[in-house]
Amino acid sequence: MNGAMRANIRSRGDGRFSLVGAVKFENAGQVMAEGQKLFADYDRIIVDTSAAKVSSTAGLAVMMEWASWCDIRDIGIVFEGVHANTIAVAELNGVAMMLPVSGRVS
């Protein structure tokens, strides 16, 4: 996988995480699993997506899966810094109201 296609989750401490890089179909499964492993130790998490490119349906699918996974485990999750393109993709797919978002980036 080349550097342009890498994405990962970085812990910032106290249940705060940053998603960085480009989430694409080729790496979505890896990014999803990495997040779930990191999130499992918390009751509430915040994921800053402002440094990530998640405007594709693959990126949205990862965010939606994280939200569902956290809901099943009673882990509160909020996405911050969500790009307007990601919100637009969510709206087009009819899932925007299921995406726990606080704060948007243009």
pLDDT for 55: 60
What's the whole-model pTM score? 0.88
pLDDT for 2: 47
Give the side-chain half-sphere CA count within 13 A for 6.
6
Q: Decide if 26 contacts 4 (C-beta within 8 A).
A: no
pLDDT for 71: 96
* pLDDT one-digit tens code per residue, 37-94: 999 999 999 999 998 887 678 889 999 999 999 999 999 999 999 988 888 889 988 9
- Distance, first Cα to last Cα, the chain: 28
Question: Phi-psi bin for 86: left (phi > 0), alpha (psi -120 to 50), beta?
Answer: alpha
**Dist CA 101 CA 104 (whole Å):** 8
Region 17-36: mean pLDDT is 93
Q: Decide if 78 contacts 49 (C-beta within 8 A).
A: no
Question: Phi-psi bin for 101: left (phi > 0), alpha (psi -120 to 50), beta?
Answer: beta
pLDDT for 3: 46
Fold for the domain defined by 3-105: Transcription Regulator spoIIAA (3.30.750)
**Dist CA 50 CA 60 (whole Å):** 14
